[in-house]
Amino acid sequence: MPRARCCNSTAGSGSSTSLTSSRAGASEGLQMPATAVKLQTVETPDPARHIREFLNGFSVEASGLDDAALLGLKTALPAGTAVYLTALPGRAPDQTVETAMRLRALGFEPVPHIAARSIADHGALDELLARLAALAQVRCVLAVAGDRDMPLGPFGSALDLIESGLLQRHGITEAGIAGYPDGHRRIGFDTLARALAAKIETADHTGLRVHIVTQFGFEAAPIVDWLRRLRDLGIEQPVRVGMAGPVSLSALLRYARHCGVRASAQGLTRNAGLVKHLIGWHAPDGLIRPLAEACAGGRLGQVAAHFYSFGGAAATSRWAAAAASGRFVLDRTDGFRVEPP
């Protein structure tokens, strides 16, 4: 089972960038449906349709994809699906390039993480991007600070990567950056929002499109509230909302503690008495259904689902693809049950 990567250090600080400067280029980029968020209740709800619409254009995040996992992705995922590749500590650049090449050959859109603090120098970044572009036709990356406390080289943040100009030089047209609906252990919302706006403004000035990929969460309400606050600040870039694919509940709570998603994890254990069933499995239907309802016909921009494959890339992909195609039955609460093929 792949390890969780948190991107807890992706946000910079100290920027004086205006929070109202982030509108340009918000509607372009990786294939994401023009799903808009709405906070008020939909007058004539159609939960099944809203779920399908919300899951249209979902993405998957994985690491350590071996032959079996790649075969599972090929069997489960629609062609063109964006597959994000985590930057594990100690993972050689050659492995990232090879996996990206194999994903491209299978018809997927590889989106490798570029961890700023793990890059030794400008030459290493230049070489990695050159190979990803030439061999795997990579056009989009996820720019993160990474998990190192201290940078290995000159890059300490995602903003440093964007400012380097090397992404654009190698034909990268879009970069994902991190968002934190659950908050950050050490950084407040206003500081995070300023850092987000600084990255977006810098990218826009250099012709680089941006989308936001969030930390995974368990409850819809804080995510919708966070989206509303971003949009109120003029940050209109597309957002991919992070959520865990099917995984054992005990493992999921370990990932949540490791990644600092504590408030949301507490909500998970409160709901439906799940704390009594730690040997069971968790699926994100209880998050997706209310979030899809909130996103239906609203005005808070493009929002899509992003699945973290803590329970395995193949299993996550099968579940997500089945739900996106409408193979599910609504339950009496806020979730749904995916039907087997």
Tell me the mean pLDDT in the region 326-341: 88
β-strand 174-179 against 209-214: which pairing, if any? parallel
| Distances, alpha carbon 303 to alpha carbons 34, 175, 236, 277, 338, in Å | 7, 16, 10, 31, 22
> DSSP letters along 222-263, please?
HHHHHHHHHHHTT----EEEEEE-SEEHHHHHHHHHHHT-HH
Residue with tokens 């998970």: 268
Q: Quick one: pLDDT at residue 156? A: 95
79 pLDDT more than 60: yes
Domains of the chain with bracketed CATH: 47-246+285-335 (3.20.20.220)
274 pLDDT more than 80: no
Distance CA 167, CA 141 (A): 9
User: Percent of the chain at pLDDT above 90?
Assistant: 62
Tens of pLDDT, residue by residue over 122-170, are 999 999 999 999 999 999 999 999 888 899 999 999 999 999 999 999 9
225 pLDDT more than 90: yes
| Distances, alpha carbon 128 to alpha carbons 100, 113, 199, in Å | 12, 11, 21
Tens of pLDDT, residue by residue over 23-70, are 545 545 666 655 544 445 445 679 999 999 999 999 999 988 999 999
CA-closest candidate to residue 6, choices 117, 96, 88: 88
DSSP character at residue 299:
S
Tens of pLDDT, residue by residue over 246-266, are 988 777 777 776 665 554 555
Q: With beta carbons less than 8 A apart as the criterion, state whether 247 and 221 touch.
A: no
- Selected residue with higher pLDDT from 248 and 102: 102
Q: Name the CA dihedral angle for 326, 319, 73, 131, rounded to a multiple of 10 degrees.
A: 100
Question: How many C-beta atoms surround the C-beta of residue 234 within 10 A?
Answer: 15
